[in-house]
Amino acid sequence: MKYLSIFFLLLSFISCQITETITINSDGSGDIELVQLREENSYMQMVGEEYSKENVFQDTTYVFKDYITKYKENFQKYTVEEQQLFQKYANVKTHIKRSSFEKEFRSVFALHFNKVSEIPDLFKTEDYASDIQHNYALTAENHYFRIEYAFDGKVFKRSVSIINTTEFEKAKGDSERFKAKYGDAKLTQSYVLKYHFPQKIKSISNPQAMVAADQKSLTIEFQLADCLKNPEITNLEVILE
């Protein structure tokens, strides 16, 4: 059952629509929102009759610092470096809804930041909250890539780096197996970046980016399976006028 659960969890992620939206103000502050939405038609195609057997309901909202406060004794057991890492997530607001009855599976992570460099890797939010709650080692460190952001007022960078080559190779293998099995299915599995800047855009490192009429916003869409196989394709550098 453990492996079956992991299998369906991976299927659920593959059949996702992920949208990452960042808005940067003129003073360098701004907001980021990461939304993961399970695309029900795609998921149903992949799991078949198991789709009707789901029996899940969760509707949870929290701010990460609530976990630091509530599980203070556990938090204090971590190293200074680990505590500092958790503090980067302190103001991340999370809303998780998983309802097999309404067929809605959505995760939303949001943060207001003072500097772009403060933005943490939001994909790890749930893992770190669970670590503090259960006094686990940092399970999110098993992720095979890390996302970081930078902005100096002129140049914006979204940097993805591989941090675990063993897990990366496993992910590439999983991606190829999914492609072989479901490659002919009409699945919706997109990863969309939507970025809004305080000045007009001068140049973008990714030629697939679509720039809005005001020349201050861009949108780039990737196939999620491609991102899992090679997350570095989502690296981005934007130079403003």
pLDDT in tens, 200-213: 999 999 999 999 99
Q: How far apart are CA 148 and CA 32, in angstroms?
A: 13
Altogether, the residues listed in the chain come to a count of: 241
Spatial separation of the C-alpha atoms in residues 72 and 135, rounded to whole Å? 10
Q: At residue 91, does pLDDT exceed 90?
A: yes
What was the pLDDT predicted at 185? 63
Percent of the chain residues topping a pLDDT of 90: 59
Report the predicted TM-score, pTM, of the whole model to 2 decimal places: 0.88
Collapsing DSSP states into helix, strand and coil, what is residue 136? Answer: coil
Compute the average pLDDT of residues 207-221: 97
Contact 110, 23 (CB under 8 A): no
Q: Please give the average per-residue pLDDT across 65-91, as a whole number.
A: 96
Place of tokens 């067929």: 103
Confidence of residue 171 (pLDDT cuts 50, 70, 90): confident
Question: What is the mean predicted confidence (pLDDT) over 64-84?
Answer: 95
